[in-house]
Structure 1
Amino acid sequence: MAELWIGNVADDVTDEEIKEFLIRYGFPAFDEIQRVPGAGSRPAVLLTFNNVEPHSLRSLEGRVHNLFWKNRTINVNVVPPREEE
């Protein structure tokens, strides 16, 4: 499992638009999406890919990090694996 954080995504961008955008840049389809409200100006999304390893996403991350999309510059980072308790 891998997670991808995309910061500075406008609230009015749909889940489907996010999916289409990432697929256009070579990413697999995500399995889950969580909206993370920002402090008014920089909301984000956290995407979960159930059958993808973090290193696979890291190889794609640079394709979209700091890209200007939907009138905003997005920040994209692979979330480090979380330790299970």
Structure 2
Amino acid sequence: MADLLLGNIDEHVSDAEINEFLERYGFPPFDAIERIEGAGRPAALLTFHSASEEGLRRLQSRIHNLFWRERTISAQVMPPAREE
């Protein structure tokens, strides 16, 4: 399981549109999405149960700093949560 943070996305883009966009660049479908509101820079945290952190890192460069829907988006693979 791995998480990908997509930053600076259009707040009106649907989950299906995000999934279609990612699949165009070779990503598997995501299993969960959490929307994160920001001051003009909304983001989405995507969880992939069928992808490893390493696998997402290989795909990340395909979309990081890509211009999509009138915005330059960022893509960051999130490190696994620490267990306490």
- Regarding TM over 0.5, the answer is yes
Structure 2 match to 1:13: 13
How many residues are matched? 84
**C-alpha deviation, 1:82, in angstroms:** 1.1
Distance in 1, matches of 2:25 and 2:52, equals 17
Residue 64 (structure 1) aligned with residue 66 (structure 2): no
Residue 83 (structure 1) aligned with residue 73 (structure 2): no
* TM-score, normalised via structure 1 length: 0.96
Task: Give me the CA root mean square deviation.
Answer: 0.6
Amino acid at match of 1:43: P
Equivalent residue runs for 1:25-64 within 5 Å: 25-39=25-39, 41-64=40-63
- Partner of 2:35, secondary structure, is strand
Percent of residue pairs bearing the same amino acid type = 56
- Partner of 2:23, secondary structure, is helix
The runs of 4+ residues in structure 1 deviating greater than 2 Å are none
CA deviation profile, 1:2-34 (whole Å, cap 9, x unmatched):
000000011110000000000000000000000
Q: Which runs of 5+ in 1 are unaligned?
A: none
Q: Which runs of 5+ in 2 are unaligned?
A: none
Structure 2 match to 1:73: 72
**C-alpha deviation, 1:55, in angstroms:** 0.3
